[in-house]
Amino acid sequence: MYLRMAMLLTGLAGLCFGSAFSVAELGTRAAGMGTAFIATADDGSAIFYNPAGIAFQPGRHMEMDTATVVGLFRFSPSATPVGQVVPAEGYSGSVKPHFIPLAFLYATAQYNDRITLGFGVFTPFGLSTNFDNFHDGDPNLTKFVGRFSGTNAALQQFWFQPTIAYKVKKNFSIGIGPAFVHTHLIIQESILNPLDDALTFGRDAASTVFPGVPQEEAAQTIARMLPEGRSRVAGTANSPGAAAGILYKSERFKTDFGLMWRSPVVSHLSGKASFVFDNSPYALQQYVGSDFLFKAFPNQNIKGEFSTPATYGIGIANSAFFHTRVSLDVRMQDYTRFSTVPIDFALNKDNTRFLTGGNPADNTTALALDPEKRLVFDFHNSWNIAFGLERPVSPNITVRLGYLWDKSPVPDKSVGPLFPDANRNSLTGGVTEKRGNKELSAFYEAMWFEDRTVNVAANAKDWTNGLYHNFANLFGLSLRFNLSDVAKISKK
């Protein structure tokens, strides 16, 4: 029971980018080049893309980046309960307000000819989803049909990363950054699905509520008599992380090579699970008492554990032709780490499963949640390929173009309102204008998700099979200051 609810504790948020719940566009200049930035890494976002890159940034700099995501996510179910009302264009999974703001901060300071220090705050995993298009009191046949697999979610994972880069030679550097990682998660879903957890609930209660009636027949009756409820899960975790990189610049061939690595992060979530039911009388109430559901589903502490993937990347960039920099990155995220997830419901450890005997109206310790769930996701590794161009068109203005292909790690069985995910293709463009000691950059990205039709027998009971049609617009701005120039001006 509650596989779907426990699944939410893994920190997965819908409104996904291509790689499940990761974010690649953590620098405005990099995003304008399709995120092909590992071998370039020549602004503050190098702390994210390749920490070794800050070694080639003389002086002191501060950079503030923002990005806004406007997602157009639609789900058209292939099957629904009889009488279900489905919007003409399918169910919308867009958040309200219809944009998701992200913000990043980077700072670098050259300590001497060999050593450069940096600090970054960024969110490599996050975003949100919202299929919550209804009120609890609405008729069931007008609500989002896949609500038992999740209705809305919000995930933020913040990396606070001090970084040090060392220039081994004038054209070769290494960089490393230990990180403090804070994760925050809020998830909601509907519970007591008549075809799933309510039916399991009914089988446990069958002999007590309807003695003498065949178990399956009694269970189906009980499942239909239970009111629909809602669960809300909120949790936080603090964990260590790390990133490292290598950068080599060949002056002779005007070609740069870069390697980067970002560690997996194991988050040990602690938080609360709460449950809400309509106060209206329901058919089963005469058998179990008016406060039975509140006793069976008590608000309680929860703990969970999940791993966000490691990232491995290699990049090459060449600026030998036509005054244009051409870059290519290949990155892999090992989402196979995200295979099983244990979840503990603290209050349930010392209590037996619901209805081991006796009168349920008098059984104050009988709970409807298992003390632990171990979930299996079977994610596979994600690959993405990024290609970018950068060309100065005047002494103060540089333009960029890029392309990004991203392979989704989410298998068909895990696609749903929390994972409306598919392979994606993105086209990007960007521009930078220099003014004195300031650089103002902007980018735009058009992200096409491949249409994905899911037909998994095990998902039929949750009504999540069907067509997922998604598109997203991304916009970003950054402002970078050369603080060394400010210091020179003040001395004058």
What is the model's pLDDT at position 350? 52
d(CA 445, CA 33): 10
Residue 214 in tokens: 């065949």
Is residue 269 scored above 80 in pLDDT?
yes
Question: Count of H helices and E strands in the chain?
Answer: 8, 20
Query: Which fold would CATH assign to domain 14-136+157-186+238-258+314-348+380-491?
Result: Porin (2.40.160)
Q: Which of 18, 146, 132, 190 is nearest to 466 (CA)?
A: 146
State the pLDDT confidence band at 179, using cuts at 50, 70 and 90: very high
| Mean pLDDT to the nearest integer, 314-335 | 96
Higher pLDDT, 262 or 14: 262
- Render 4-62 in DSSP notation, one character per residue: HHHHHTT---SS--SSTTB----SHHHHHTTT--TTT--STTHHHH-GGGGGG--SEEE
Least confident of 3-7, 132-136, 329-333, 410-414: 3-7
State the pLDDT confidence band at 280, using cuts at 50, 70 and 90: confident
What is the model's pLDDT at position 296? 79
What is the model's pLDDT at position 131? 86
Residues in the chain: 492
| Mean pLDDT to the nearest integer, 418-434 | 94
Is residue 337 scored above 80 in pLDDT?
yes
CA 234 remoteness from chain centre: 15
What is the model's pLDDT at position 13? 34
Average pLDDT, the chain: 86
Residue 364 in tokens: 């104050």
d(CA 381, CA 385): 14
Is residue 320 scored above 90 in pLDDT?
yes
Is residue 492 scored above 50 in pLDDT?
no
First to last CA, the chain: 71
Is residue 289 scored above 80 in pLDDT?
no
Which residues of 251-360 form beta strands (DSSP E)? 255-262, 265-277, 300-308, 311-321, 324-333, 340-345
Is residue 3 scored above 50 in pLDDT?
no
Distances (CA, A) of 217 to 124, 212, 436: 49, 11, 78
State the pLDDT confidence band at 340, using cuts at 50, 70 and 90: confident
d(CA 333, CA 66): 24
State the pLDDT confidence band at 97, using cuts at 50, 70 and 90: low
Is residue 98 scored above 70 in pLDDT?
no
What is the model's pLDDT at position 356? 39
Q: What is the pLDDT of residues 372-408, one digit of tens each?
A: 766 667 889 999 999 999 999 999 999 999 999 999 9
Q: Which of 333, 468, 340, 349 is nearest to 407 (CA)?
A: 333
What is the model's pLDDT at position 99? 66
d(CA 183, CA 179): 13
Is residue 352 scored above 50 in pLDDT?
no
Is residue 178 scored above 60 in pLDDT?
yes
Domain boundaries, the chain: 14-136+157-186+238-258+314-348+380-491
d(CA 398, CA 389): 10
Which alpha helices (DSSP H) does 226-313 contain, by range? Answer: 285-288, 292-296
Q: Which of 147, 135, 244, 232 is nearest to 185 (CA)?
A: 232
Whether 75 and 135 have beta carbons less than 8 Å apart is answered as no
SS3 92: strand
Contacts of 248 (CB under 8 A, 6+ apart): 171, 172, 256, 257, 258
State the pLDDT confidence band at 10, using cuts at 50, 70 and 90: very low
d(CA 268, CA 281): 39
What is the model's pLDDT at position 484? 83
